[in-house]
Amino acid sequence: MRLRVLASGSRGNASLLWAGDQLLLLDAGLAVTAMTERLVDSRVGLKGIDHVVVTHGHLDHSRTAGIVAKRHGALLHAPAEILEHRAIKRAPRRQAFPVGVESHLGPPEDGVTIRTAVVPHDCHPTFALRIEHEGRALALLTDCGEPREDAARALSDTEVLMLESNHDVDLLRAGPYPQSLKDRVLGPGGHLSNDQMAVMLRRLAGPRLHTVVLLHLSAQNNRPELAAQTARQTLEQLGRADVRVLCAEQDRPLETLDV
């Protein structure tokens, strides 16, 4: 498989995952113009996307999911609870996520399997995903209020880990957000801090892991070097200084990487 993170942050999340002959779009939170630009830039032609996979209903993950799925004739996968939401139901072909079982994403002969785990977030349900193809696997965990052991079990043993590292707690506490928003971000329905990311990384850094991509970094309450340093220190403590750490960006796609 190959992964390209198109964008990540509170203004929109989207990644492309090539799995054999199938092309998956993981979240579709960019506006139409930005999404189209980044797909063209990634040489994705019309009808190029086979599956659009939406982790939860917040607009920074779902904004253009229905439009993109319709344009590309893709099958849209999302939590059952949001299949009739406005941004989602524009897709003529929609399917609810499997819950608690591993299943095929598309026809079994394509060999793409997906496992889901519900994570705490103030948009229920929010799903973390583990996608596998030909013995290689990727996990996506974002928009998660607190580290959870059950999520770690469902997502373990992957080559690539896409993991939220939203904020530095001190920067958030001292920053410009109103207290109610600070409480929301810090609470169990909010987002993973750099330190909470480290807790999940400890649980998820298996022997196959070669790359960690940090997601959803707050422009106000985090700095890429802080998040990356926290991840690198954690990996060093685990004896895994060989694992590459990247920070996804809001305004620029990452290089395409092999899973």
Residue 119, SS3 per DSSP: strand
Which of 50, 60, 146, 168 forms a contact with Zn ion (CB under 5 A)? 60
Nearer to Zn ion, 121 or 133 (CB): 121
Nearer to Zn ion, 60 or 132 (CB): 60
Alpha carbon distance 181, 158 (integer Å): 33
Contact 146, 122 (CB under 8 A): no
Contact mark string toward Zn ion, 93..132, x via CB under 5 A: ----------------------------------------
Task: Assess 63 for contact with Zn ion (CB under 5 A).
Answer: no
Task: Assess 143 for contact with Zn ion (CB under 5 A).
Answer: yes
Whole-number Cα distances in Å, 111 to 15, 135, 140, 255: 20, 10, 19, 25
Contact 122, 184 (CB under 8 A): yes
Least separation in angstroms between CB 140 and Zn ion: 12
Nearer to Zn ion, 235 or 247 (CB): 247
Alpha carbon distance 14, 9 (integer Å): 9
Task: Assess 167 for contact with Zn ion (CB under 5 A).
Answer: no
**Which candidate, 202, 211, 232, places its Cα nearest to that of 138?**
211
Which of 58, 133, 167, 182 forms a contact with Zn ion (CB under 5 A)? 58
Least separation in angstroms between CB 124 and Zn ion: 11
**Which candidate, 159, 160, 164, places its Cα nearest to that of 147?**
164
Contact 27, 61 (CB under 8 A): yes
Least separation in angstroms between CB 9 and Zn ion: 8
Least separation in angstroms between CB 210 and Zn ion: 26
Applying CB under 5 A, the residues found at the interface with Zn ion are 58, 60, 143
